[in-house]
Amino acid sequence: MVRLPSQLFFFDRAFRAFFLGGSLFTGVAMLIWFWQYPAAMTTFSGIPSMYWHAHEMVFGYALATVTGFLLTAVMNWSKENSASGWRLAWVFACWALARIGFLLDWPLIWVATSDLLFNLGLLWLFIGPVLRQKLWPQMGWRRSLPCCWRPMGCFTPGRLTGSITVCTWGDFRALSGAGD
């Protein structure tokens, strides 16, 4: 097994990056939400703050936490060092860029692309070891990931077309578990 350089210790296991990143992001997002809440006039990449807040608590914080758990668990199940080092750093960077993109008011297509790349990276780092090691009992998780993506699939086109109804429907499906 190749040892990671000491500067990549943060990316040695997925829970370090995603639990800490999700926690820090949530603290920042809540401060921003509290700061602007009474007026709620701020938009994030053109999304009204109420919808941004709902979306980011589900797909920013919660999905980061789930990602940290799943990618750490698959390494334990498979005994492969699959979700670490530069691969994990790349997936984490895609997640972080999507969160930062909203805050810096980047074009929605950039934010959506970062989110898409993050989700594809999550799938890649999770499903590869499961298939290589024939961990068929863990294949149930494979079904759960697209259940999270379907609501995001409602939200993202809604963001790009400016349809608040579609945005709301995507977040409603995620919060209610209707994506299953």
Segments making up each domain of the chain, as ranges: 8-176
Token duo for residue 24: 């820090």
Question: Distance between CA atoms of 119 and 117, rounded to whole angstroms?
Answer: 5
Scored b (16 or more CB within 10 A) or e, 141-180 reads beeebeebbebbbbbbebbeeeeeebbbbbbebbeeeebe
Q: How many CB atoms lie within 10 A of CB 124?
A: 14
**Residue 49 CB contacts under 8 Å (≥ 6 apart), including other chains:** 33, 36, 37, 40, 41, 42, 43
- pLDDT tens, per residue, the chain with 180 residues: 555 555 567 888 889 999 999 999 999 988 888 887 766 677 887 777 877 888 888 888 988 998 999 899 888 888 888 888 899 999 999 999 999 998 899 998 898 889 889 988 988 998 888 888 888 777 776 566 666 666 666 666 666 666 655 555 555 555 555 444
In this structure, which amino acid lies at residue 84? Answer: S
Question: Distance between CA atoms of 24 and 120, rounded to whole angstroms?
Answer: 23
Q: Is 25 helix (H, G, I), strand (E, B) or coil?
A: helix
Q: Which residues lie across from 48 on neighbouring strands?
A: 43
Query: What pLDDT was estimated at residue 64?
Result: 92
Question: Distance between CA atoms of 151 and 160, rounded to whole angstroms?
Answer: 15
Q: Is 140 exposed, middle or buried (0-12, 13-18, 19+ CB in 10 A)?
A: exposed
